[in-house]
Structure 1
Amino acid sequence: MRISIESTDRIGISQEILAVFAQQAWNLKAVEITSCFTYAQIEQEGLQLADVQKSLSGVSGIVRIKEIALLPAQQRENHLQALLDKIPEPIIDLGKHGEILAVNQATKLLIKAHESERDSAKELDYIGKPIADYIKPLTKNLITDSASSHAITINSKAYIADFSPVYASTFDENKQTNQAITGAVVVLRSMHTLGRQISLIQTHHRHDFNAIIGQSNEIVLIKEQSKRFAELDLPVLINGETGTGKELIARALHQASPRAKSPFLALNCAALPEHLLESELFGYTGGAFTGAQKGGKPGLIELAEGGSLFLDEIAEMSTYLQAKLLRFLQDFSYRRVGGTKELTADVRIISASHQNLVQLIAKQAFREDLYYRLNVLNLTLPPLRERASDIALLAKGFLTNAVKQVGRGLQAEDVYLTEPALALLQRFSWPGNIRQLQNVLFSVVALNKGQAISASDIQQVLAKYDSEHSESKAETTDQMESKEIKDWASAQAKFELELLQQLLPLYPSTRKLAERLGVSHNKIAMKLRQHGIG
């Protein structure tokens, strides 16, 4: 029986109540005392509430006595346990010697899976026992005076164990307060959970197929193929020039797949040297190399558990890492850098490259066996110059975003392209594809003082790209081997053709182009006819 005794705030009343219980020789299991309330749990066979009320009738100041379901501390513990059980991550409260004080439901399930032979009827027997008896990687040695994180493996699955020390105040001989460690709270974060959190941090915008702008036949076909590929849990290789939206397609593929609720993580293979790329991809154990974190670090393959991993510029990966990636694709097992344990991960690999991998295979710069592993499903994205009909839609979206970012008191609907400006955009070759179009329009909005964007506004920004591109092209031309040049006439003709193709979109009339190149109008007209440029 659990009872609540409400009373006036009188000194000594709780002692009198407890004295009555002692006189009755009742088995008192628990007592709680607060201002104006005394709570008690009495284990006495045949005891009735009326018996308690009668025995306390002689104590002055008692207002009301009633039976309750739980004592306040028990009720708080129940609420706290319910709260902890709602958390999907295993949480363990440990004493200073590593003994289990409390766990949530996720921990019980983890222990049950880890100790499969344990009788489920005895699942609470581990309270007060060393945690290492049930989850071996967790030992009392990991409890320190500062928060720490450790990479551990349980049931062949990787976790990050976050240890937070628990302190209690003690007093020394001089009555000075000291903080002593009484244990630690451990939170086990699965790679899936960590990967999902990282994925959400990296993703700020919608990445489904509706975010892919375009109505041309080329882009409609890509969307249809991608949607079919999304349903197939197989590797996908995406080919396309720089700036064609390979990562956007990869994200849309993931979002439309059964893995949509799991992480999508991306890694540019050209951005890191080999040793850093290896540890970023596969992770490393503590002490694997100089500067390695003490507890090790999970790689993107671990963090992408259950989801998708996008490997951009896959052609830039060294042959050593190509071999290691191939091994993972064969049976989805791998080892961390410096590690000996075999780990597994359920991850879909989506890769991309702007280079011709078949040509690289012929040059022995890319592994043929890896190519066939990656190229189970294939998408080839068209360059922007082959889908010029989509430029109007793309430009509208980019202008809206640019106006929002640049500001200047303008509304997105007030800024527009004139017809000649749009025509100029549609004629340009766009070597940098969609990314270059976006950057050009952002620059135009930043520089433009009015609402209407004219062809001259576009031409001014494109001229800067033209100058930079010409310098880069000149450097490349200087490096050409002499065997590629047949004779003077063919080299001159090739130069004229490329020059006219490059400048005509920027200077769309023969007179403007002649003025730009400092030659006569008739010469430009003749050269255009000679090279078949209309």
Structure 2
Amino acid sequence: MEKYSSLDINHSSPEKQTDWWKAIVHSINDGVLVIDLEGIVQLVNPEYLRITGATPSIIGKPLKESRPGAQLTEILVDRKTRVGVYRKTGNREYIVDMAPIILDDKVIGAVSVCKSLDEVHKLTQELKLKGEKLEQLQKKMSSLYQANYTFKQIIGKNMGLKDAVNVAEKVADTDLPILITGESGTGKELFAQAMHNDSKRKNNPFVPVNCAAIPAALLESELFGYGEGAFTNAKKGGKIGLFEIANNGTIFLDEIGDMSFELQAKLLRVLQEKKIRRVGETRERDINVRIIAATHRDLQQLVKKNHFREDLFYRLNVISLHIPPLRDRKDDIPELVDAFLQSSIINLSLDLESINYTISRHTLRFLQTYEWPGNVRELRNMIDYATCMMEGTEIKIEHLPETITKNRIDISEFNETTSSYNSLQEAVQDAEKRFILETLKKFGNDLEEKKRAANALGISLATLYNKINRYNLDF
């Protein structure tokens, strides 16, 4: 078989070049018919004959004679392209696209490209099936990235918490960036979800990202995606990033203080330009995402130490929310315990309707003297544990995790026979007073010793001095 290179074709005779182009037309899977300026058929390929039922004898004859009703000759006059023209010859149905052939701004002929209606129907069905699969995938994606919490599920009447809720409700339906601060376990993501569900973006994805849980080397490709061949073992076709998944919705960047300095610069560009660029690509993609960031770290201190970009800090800190720790809102513990207990009972499939599950008042008093370093998350986990351990329908101190009870100075003071107090508040204050006093006796009375005592108590030195003055402690 004779082989041709591009150089051979470019320098070959006109006859060989004509053969080359005829071979190309004959290899096309769609039907092709070409006429000259006089409307004479110059070329047809086998697929055209198969689809239309025409015979090779039409070559060299006027198209109008062999194909009555053909519109291709009209294009020689009006120079207008026609797309998707329905044609039927006998029992054969097909769709035709037609266009003029123009050389040096002059029409020298016209070309018709056709596909049988059966193939069109088949392609339509395939497109429909792919469209349905895409819709199913989009629904699955939406269910995976869905915010579940609302402001109604934020429990507590503490003023610090209520102030944070009030600000969150006011800014929920804006597109302003928000920075949520607070210790681990205070409920920062709960606030983020509530704001998303109270905004115009609520029907679009809510995508949470823990920046501290993803290795720094992978975080960029997770956030922005990557193009095909961007690095070794990259997926064929590349991968969509979390920002693109969150398009028209909200992305929640938790532990933003752990993001690398280099990646912070790219995040700043997203905030400023509303565009992302996949790793390994040069094309930028428009993005419409509301960013809510959160951290338990002091970003201002990180800025001073050059560990966090100052420009990014101010860009994120347009609206600032601080969630108070549980130890500063112990008055909310009874309401939180009740809500978590009901939820735990439901999860354990216990009979909530006919049986009243409770927590003893002595156990509740004990919980209100604990400093909760893990905050609301720790309280929730503790209730789940105690619900599994309880015998009967009441949670008692012995049902609590040992990690909470083992370091208490005198747990007997919370036993079930204690009843010398007139109110819960009085009992809590008395227990707190004695606990602080025992801790101070253990560590000592000078400044450094008081600092260590405050650290052991899980409170600041200023708070310790306030409590010493409040209870008039002397030792």
TM-score of the alignment, normalized to the shorter chain, above 0.5: yes
Unpaired runs of 5+ residues, structure 2, are 1-27, 32-80, 87-94, 99-119, 410-443, 460-467
Q: Is the 8 A contact 1:497 1:531 kept in 2?
A: no
Matched position secondary structure for 2:293: strand
Aligned counterpart, 1:347: 289
Q: Match of 1:246, as an amino acid?
A: K
Correspondence list, 1:6-21, <5 A: none
Q: Is the 8 A contact 1:403 1:412 kept in 2?
A: no
Q: How far apart are the structure 1 equivalents of 2:124 and 2:178?
A: 52
Matched, 1:414 2:363: no
Q: Is the 8 A contact 2:382 2:401 kept in 1?
A: no
Aligned counterpart, 1:234: 176
Aligned counterpart, 1:102: none
Name the CA shift for 1:490/1:267 in 2 (closer, same or farther; >3 Å): same
Matched, 1:453 2:401: no
Aligned counterpart, 1:428: 370
Correspondence list, 1:106-255, <5 A: 124=84, 185=127, 187=130, 197-203=140-146, 206-255=148-197
Matched position secondary structure for 1:233: coil
Q: How far apart are the structure 2 equivalents of 1:413 and 1:209?
A: 29
Q: How far apart are the structure 1 equivalents of 2:386 and 2:214?
A: 33
Q: Is the 8 A contact 1:267 1:311 kept in 2?
A: yes
Name the CA shift for 1:261/1:458 in 2 (closer, same or farther; >3 Å): same
Q: CA deviation at 1:458?
A: 3.4
Deviations 1:28-67 (A, max 9, x none): xxxxxxxxxxxxxxxxxxxxxxxxxxxxxxxxxxxxxxxx
Q: How far apart are the structure 2 equivalents of 1:391 and 1:244?
A: 13
Q: Is the 8 A contact 1:400 1:412 kept in 2?
A: no
Q: Match of 2:382, as an amino acid?
A: V
Aligned counterpart, 2:462: none
Matched, 1:359 2:301: yes
Q: How far apart are the structure 1 equivalents of 2:235 and 2:402?
A: 50
Q: Is the 8 A contact 1:402 1:441 kept in 2?
A: yes
Aligned counterpart, 1:292: 234
Q: CA deviation at 1:532?
A: 3.5
Deviations 1:466-520 (A, max 9, x none): 89xxxxxxxxxxxxxxxxxxx9965444444544x369xxxxxxxxxxxxxxxxx
Matched, 1:273 2:215: yes
Matched position secondary structure for 1:311: strand
Q: Is the 8 A contact 1:192 1:304 kept in 2?
A: no
Deviations 1:173-222 (A, max 9, x none): xxxxxxxx99954746999996664242244x741111111222222222
Deviations 1:207-262 (A, max 9, x none): 11111112222222222111111122111111111001111100111111111111
Deviations 1:64-119 (A, max 9, x none): xxxxxxxxxxxxxxxxxxxxxxxxxxxxxxxx9599xxxxxxxxxxxxxxxxxxxx
Q: How far apart are the structure 1 equivalents of 2:401 and 2:296?
A: 28
Match of 1:324 among 263, 266, 291: 266
Q: CA deviation at 1:123?
A: 7.0
Over the aligned positions, Cα root-mean-square deviation in angstroms equals 4.0
Match of 1:404 among 342, 346, 352: 346
Name the CA shift for 1:192/1:220 in 2 (closer, same or farther; >3 Å): farther
Q: Is the 8 A contact 1:242 1:354 kept in 2?
A: yes
Q: How far apart are the structure 2 equivalents of 1:384 and 1:98?
A: 71
Matched position secondary structure for 2:387: helix
Q: Is the 8 A contact 2:182 2:296 kept in 1?
A: yes
Q: Match of 2:265, as an amino acid?
A: A
Q: CA deviation at 1:391?
A: 1.0
Matched position secondary structure for 1:427: coil
What is the aligned length? 328
Matched position secondary structure for 2:278: coil
Name the CA shift for 1:369/1:496 in 2 (closer, same or farther; >3 Å): closer
Q: How far apart are the structure 2 equivalents of 1:309 and 1:326?
A: 14
TM-score, length-scaled by structure 2: 0.61
Per mean C-alpha deviation after superposition, the further-off stretch among 407-416 and 289-298 is: 407-416
Matched, 1:391 2:368: no
Q: How far apart are the structure 2 equivalents of 1:122 and 1:234?
A: 49
Correspondence list, 1:64-75, <5 A: none
Q: Match of 2:254, as an amino acid?
A: D
Matched position secondary structure for 2:368: helix
Q: Match of 2:141, as an amino acid?
A: I
Q: How far apart are the structure 2 equivalents of 1:243 and 1:322?
A: 24
Correspondence list, 1:476-491, <5 A: 490-491=447-448
Q: How far apart are the structure 1 equivalents of 2:454 and 2:124?
A: 80
Name the CA shift for 1:457/1:255 in 2 (closer, same or farther; >3 Å): same
TM-score, length-scaled by structure 1: 0.54
Q: Is the 8 A contact 2:145 2:206 kept in 1?
A: no
Match of 1:444 among 386, 398, 403: 386
Q: How far apart are the structure 2 equivalents of 1:437 and 1:296?
A: 43
Aligned counterpart, 2:429: none
Q: How far apart are the structure 2 equivalents of 1:298 and 1:465?
A: 49
Deviations 1:405-424 (A, max 9, x none): 23466768521011111111
Q: Match of 1:283, as an amino acid?
A: G
Q: CA deviation at 1:365?
A: 0.3
Matched position secondary structure for 1:361: helix
Q: How far apart are the structure 2 equivalents of 1:426 and 1:319?
A: 41
Aligned counterpart, 2:256: 314
Q: Match of 1:238, as an amino acid?
A: I
Matched position secondary structure for 1:265: strand
Q: How far apart are the structure 2 equivalents of 1:98 and 1:385?
A: 75
Q: Is the 8 A contact 1:191 1:305 kept in 2?
A: no
